[in-house]
Amino acid sequence: MSHPHPELGAPPPLPKNGVRVVALGGLGEVGRNMTVLEFDGRLLVVDCGVLFPDDHPGVDLILPDFDYLRDRLDDIEAIVLTHGHEDHIGAVPYLLRLKPDIPLIGSTLTLALIEAKLKEHRITPYTMGVKEGGREKLGPFDCEFVAVNHSIPDALAVFVRTPGGTLLITGDFKMDQLPLDGRITDLRAFARLGEEGVDLFLTDSTNAEVPGFTTPEKDITPAIERVFAKAERRIIVACFASHVHRVQQILNAAEAHGRKVAMVGRSMVRNMGIAADLGYLKIPDGILVDAKKLGDLRDDQVVLICTGSQGEPMAALSRMANRDHQIDVGHGDTVLMASSLIPGNENAIYRVINGLMRLGANVVHKGNALVHVSGHASAGELLYCYNIVKPRNVMPIHGEWRHLVANRDLAVATGVPERNVLLAEDGVVVDLVDGQASITGVVPCGYVYVDGSLVGATDETMLKDRRILRDEGFVTIIVVRDSSTGKIVAGPDIRTRGFAEDTDVFDKVVPKIEDALEEARRKGVNDSHQLQQVIRRAVGGFVGGKLRRRPMIIPIVIDA
């Protein structure tokens, strides 16, 4: 991964009145958002999320790199969580494992979601609930919280006042002016803070490339209504397990059409339960039924809300498409995939759509109906923000490089001087001193892989090995030597998996190995490592030449 600032080295010491900002995730990728502020030796962490792998074989999650904090854990005042999405809270358990008493600051729903996640990790955190309009002093960081509208309720932006300067961090946001829950992004607060003076504005870059304005959530309602009006039999809705407002729209439609609703999928049931308990989701009385009891109802009285909108193989919807679920999807059923299509998931999603259609279902998705809108501000909304806030400096966050660049262009277009818009990436150090922000250095910041229960044990070498195994399989060649005489007493014994071979190819290579070993013996080569190399060359030359393949070759010489 080429570094954008190869000329940078370690940053100089932070001046006493300077504010340092380092992203440990979220810049250069969409995921694992984590920003660390520093003032006067104290640290404030904003968000701590995970990234889901796309080409990392066998990896479950990718975390931000906590190395930067490892010797400074006691300097951390708190972790501020802007909202409850996985790419903002998913890595909190791994950070708290290092120091469990770091307080978590967030809104009611956000804290409820992270507490549920931490319970699974057997961690009980210190928390402080905050609301929009609230203000908390966390060491030298005087934090004021502002409501923002997003695709999960109770999301916050945070304005941080320090003696060295002020920062406004949007978190993830959009600006639906008639949102379903009435909770708009508080632009008047942005205006007020802009009047006071925002030295550094950190803004969500996800949709900066998209011209215009993000479609309002309520524009989806007619499409949902049409689905419910036309559906002959069951309605199965797949959406994100955190999308409370989408589920609300489904519940409302179900009630209007006299249908009962069952939720399927552990995370869906859990998150919607939390949202309902806290009042963010209004469930009409008696509308929910147990998924197991659906058989008692007529098909046209049934709605299922389930996971699997991204074609995840183990989730409910995929299993329905593969006829591997108690719900037997068939002709006349309608499947509504009310979610986005995250880049990278296209093939998995289309596999599910094709599978459901083959079973006879009518599938409605964002490719053929307006059934999902983004949770992020487009270029139009971002321009409003830059013009209202009129920040001194801007640091685009939350996006791949192309998104950060597009966001930078918007800021510059509204009049922010180009040198005041910092294009940083993970690990790049931005210092705000006397009202001027600039890039002053870079700290090491890599990918940390979670694999099963192991954190950090998988590295690039391991992934490289796995890619070879995936593409080519392996061949092991075992030779047993008599430890006293050095003579070969068993083998070459050849085992292979994942390696396509003619049945007789190994008959052909055995004599080559024997010849090579005999020649080595004559030359007096005795060291087992060198003999392993002899075997490797004999086999590699053979499979590479004859079969044009490059399996992993593992020669093993055992002394018995």
Site string for a second copy, 433-462 (x = CB under 8 A): ----------------x-xxxx--xx---x
> Which range binds a second copy by CB under 8 A, 80-88, 122-130, 181-189, 473-481?
473-481
Helices (H), 425-545: 460-472, 505-522, 528-542
Closest distance of CB 73 from a second copy, Å: 23
- The residue (of 313 and 417) whose beta carbon lies closer to a second copy is 313
> Which range binds a second copy by CB under 8 A, 61-69, 119-127, 148-156, 487-495?
487-495
Would you give the end-to-end CA distance of the chain in angstroms?
A: 46
Closest distance of CB 37 from a second copy, Å: 25
Closest distance of CB 44 from a second copy, Å: 29
- The residue (of 108 and 476) whose beta carbon lies closer to a second copy is 476
Q: Which of 56, 245, 376, 403 is catalytic?
A: 376
Closest distance of CB 286 from a second copy, Å: 36
- According to DSSP, the β-strands at 454-455 and 448-451 are antiparallel
> Binder to a second copy among 48, 92, 353, 385 (CB under 8 A)?
353
Closest distance of CB 319 from a second copy, Å: 12
Based on the residue annotation, tell me whether 376 is a catalytic residue of this protein.
Answer: yes
Q: Determine, following the binding rule CB under 8 A, whether residue 357 of this chain makes contact with a second copy.
A: yes
Q: Taking the C-alpha atoms of 253, 255, 257 and 261 in order, what is their torsion angle to the nearest 10 degrees?
A: 90
> Binder to a second copy among 93, 355, 375, 427 (CB under 8 A)?
355
Neighbours of 412 (CB within 10 A): 16
Q: Which amino acid type is present at position 307?
A: T
Listing DSSP states for 307-329 in one string gives S-TT--TTSHHHHHHTT-SSS--
Measured CA to CA in angstroms, residue 401 lies from 11, 20, 26, 385 at distances of 22, 21, 10, 21
How many angstroms separate the CA atoms of 90 and 31, rounded? 10
> Which range binds a second copy by CB under 8 A, 44-52, 169-177, 279-287, 550-558?
550-558
How many angstroms separate the CA atoms of 132 and 173, rounded? 14
Length of the chain: 560
> Binder to a second copy among 67, 136, 142, 209 (CB under 8 A)?
209
Buried b (16+ CB within 10 A) or exposed e, 430-460: bbbbeeebebbbbbebebbbbbeeebbebee
- The residue (of 215 and 301) whose beta carbon lies closer to a second copy is 215
Q: Write down the residue that tokens 């922000």 correspond to.
A: 437
* Whether the bond into 222 is cis, omega within 30 of 0: no
Based on the residue annotation, tell me whether 324 is a catalytic residue of this protein.
Answer: no
Q: Looking at residues 210 to 229 of the shown chain, list those that interact with a second copy (rule: CB under 8 A).
A: none
> Binder to a second copy among 298, 323, 419, 523 (CB under 8 A)?
323
Strand spans (E) along 230-300 = 235-238, 260-264
User: Under a CB-based contact definition with an 8 Å cutoff, are residues 70 and 434 in contact?
Assistant: no
How many angstroms separate the CA atoms of 424 and 404, rounded? 8
> Binder to a second copy among 480, 510, 521, 537 (CB under 8 A)?
480
DSSP H or E segment with residue 145: strand 141-148
Q: Which of 204, 333, 426, 431 is catalytic?
A: 204
β-sheet bridge partners, residue 536: none
Which residues are known binding-site members for substrate?
A: 241-243, 372-376
- The residue (of 367 and 511) whose beta carbon lies closer to a second copy is 367
- The residue (of 284 and 360) whose beta carbon lies closer to a second copy is 360
Site string for a second copy, 367-406 (x = CB under 8 A): xx-------------------------------xxx--x-
Residues near a second copy, by CB under 8 A? 2, 4, 28, 54-55, 57-58, 209, 322-323, 343-344, 346-347, 350, 353-355, 357-359, 363, 367-368, 400-402, 405, 449, 451-454, 457-458, 462, 465-467, 469-474, 476, 478, 480, 482, 489-491, 493, 495, 497-498, 500-502, 547-549, 552, 554, 556, 558-560
Q: Would you please indicate which residues are annotated as catalytic (active-site) residues?
A: 204, 376
